[in-house]
């Protein structure tokens, strides 16, 4: 579109204005010093955030003898992947990995589906005592009975030492429901009304209109929910005391970091089979490799979640 006369005039004025105040907008020597310090700080801080991951990684793929001597600090040497392969063969670790993966996927999918559905339901003014039930749900964000009553409750429900203890309590997530509700309220009501006129049921409207349109927010809560599930550690520690087969990867890692400080202790503790232990040579490598196995899934999904950061955190500020 061609610029109007007025716009051209404005642009010209602006140019003249900058010319006139050239001195004010010029870079001063003080700015250079400031920038050097500023850039240095941010680059250094960023390095402290990345380097540990890099360090762990190069130590798991380098020659295990060199690693034991502490010779691998910046550059990997003697590359190999046997540590990871041995790790997969260690029964406990692959079992824990499976538990973590399945709880993350199943738990998050159910949570997202429930949040979407409930988020839709609570936007419906005509629901019987809608306000009361919505508050009944939301108020649970602000109090909790405490760790011990929670544990006793789970025991009473017979959920301790079962896989479902990871899944069922997390299905209803009030905070995510609020996020979805806020989002759905921003969808033009006409869409839904016209579908309603055509005789669509609530379920049809939810499936055909609400679900597809609220995908951005659902992706956001999916990512955050999945990270939460993957990182969750105390529930495994407290609820699975009698069921080591349901320990999560985080829990296993915690045990390895704490328990065994030398190779024979690891082998003797029955945590890991002798062959695996001897093939990996030292406990340092074992610990680093499990750490890496636990971190890698996060690093894989990280680029995808990056774009949902601001959306998630800003929506959180607007609560209904």
Partner 1 sequence: MNEKKTGKERLADKIYYLNRIGILLSIVLMFFPGVNPARVCGYINKNMSLLTSGMSYNGLIEECGRAFRQGWLSESSFQLLFAASLITCIGIALTAVCGCMSLGNLKMKRTGNWFSIAGSAAEIAGLSMIYIAYTQIAATERPEKVEPQLHTVGFLLFMIAAVVVLITSLVIQILLPKAEKDMKYAMESKFKLFLMFLPFIALTFVFSYLPLWGWRYAFFDYQSGGTLSSENFVGFKWFTQLFQNEATRQDIVKVLRNTLAMSGIGIATSWLPMVFAIFLSEVKSPRLKRFVQTFTTIPNFISWVLVYAIAFAIFATDGFLSSLLMNMGVLDSGFNFLMPTDHMWLKMWAWGTWKGLGWSAIIYIAGISGIDQQLYEAATVDGAGRFQKMWHITVPGLIPTFMVLLLMSVAGVLSNGMDQYLVFETKNNIEWLNVLDLYVYKLGINNGAIPLSTVVGMTKSIISVVLLFLANGISKLVRGESIV
Tokens representing residue 101 in the block: 């993966």
Tokens representing residue 312 in the block: 């998630």
Task: Report yes or no: 119 and 177 within 8 Å, Cβ to Cβ.
Answer: yes
Nearer to partner 1, 1 or 103 (CB): 103
Compute the least distance from the CB of residue 150 to partner 1, in Å. 5
Compute the least distance from the CB of residue 4 to partner 1, in Å. 21
Compute the least distance from the CB of residue 187 to partner 1, in Å. 18
Nearer to partner 1, 126 or 190 (CB): 126
The span from the CA of 59 to the CA of 48, in Å, is 17
Tokens representing residue 296 in the block: 């890698």
Tokens representing residue 193 in the block: 């009304």
Tokens representing residue 36 in the block: 């050097």
Nearer to partner 1, 143 or 188 (CB): 143
Compute the least distance from the CB of residue 188 to partner 1, in Å. 21
Nearer to partner 1, 159 or 191 (CB): 159
Tokens representing residue 178 in the block: 């609020």
Nearer to partner 1, 45 or 81 (CB): 45
Compute the least distance from the CB of residue 128 to partner 1, in Å. 4
Nearer to partner 1, 2 or 49 (CB): 49
Compute the least distance from the CB of residue 136 to partner 1, in Å. 7
The span from the CA of 282 to the CA of 62, in Å, is 13
Nearer to partner 1, 7 or 310 (CB): 310
Task: Report yes or no: 195 and 125 within 8 Å, Cβ to Cβ.
Answer: no
Compute the least distance from the CB of residue 102 to partner 1, in Å. 18
Cβ neighbours of 56 (radius 10 Å): 15
Contacts 24+ apart (CB under 8 A), 316-320: 316/175, 316/179, 318/182, 319/178, 319/182, 320/178, 320/181, 320/182, 320/185
Q: Give Cα separations from 250 to 1, 80, 87, 101, 181 (angstroms).
A: 58, 25, 15, 11, 33
């Amino acid at each position: 579109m061609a610029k109007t006369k007025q716009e051209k005039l404005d642009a010209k004025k602006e140019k003249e204005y900058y010319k006139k105040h050239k001195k004010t907008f010029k870079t001063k020597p003080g700015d250079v010093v400031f920038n050097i310090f500023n850039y240095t700080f941010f680059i250094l801080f960023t390095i402290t955030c990345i380097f540990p991951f890099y360090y762990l990684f190069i130590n798991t793929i380098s020659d295990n003898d060199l690693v034991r001597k502490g010779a691998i600090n910046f550059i990997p040497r003697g590359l190999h992947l046997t540590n990871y392969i041995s790790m997969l063969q260690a029964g406990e670790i692959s079992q824990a990995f499976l538990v973590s993966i399945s709880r993350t996927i199943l738990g998050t999918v159910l949570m997202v589906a429930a949040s979407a559905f409930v988020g839709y339901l609570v936007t419906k003014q005509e629901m019987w005592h809608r306000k009361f039930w919505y508050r009944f749900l939301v108020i649970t964000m602000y109090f909790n009975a405490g760790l011990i009553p929670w544990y006793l409750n789970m025991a009473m429900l017979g959920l301790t030492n079962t896989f479902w203890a990871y899944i069922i309590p997390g299905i209803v997530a009030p905070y995510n429901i609020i996020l979805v509700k806020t989002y759905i309220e921003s969808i033009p009501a006409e869409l839904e009304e016209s579908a309603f006129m055509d005789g669509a049921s609530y379920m049809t409207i939810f499936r055909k209109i609400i679900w597809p349109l609220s995908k951005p927010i659902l992706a956001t809560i999916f990512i955050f929910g999945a990270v939460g599930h993957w990182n969750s550690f105390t529930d495994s520690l407290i609820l699975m005391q009698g069921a080591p087969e349901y320990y999560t990867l985080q829990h296993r890692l915690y045990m390895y970091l704490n328990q065994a400080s030398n190779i024979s202790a690891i082998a003797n503790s029955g945590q890991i089979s002798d062959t695996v232990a001897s093939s990996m040579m030292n406990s340092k490598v074992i610990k680093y490799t499990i750490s890496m196995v636990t971190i890698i899934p996060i690093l894989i999904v990280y680029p995808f979640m990056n774009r949902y950061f601001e959306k998630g955190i800003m929506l959180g500020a607007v609560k209904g």
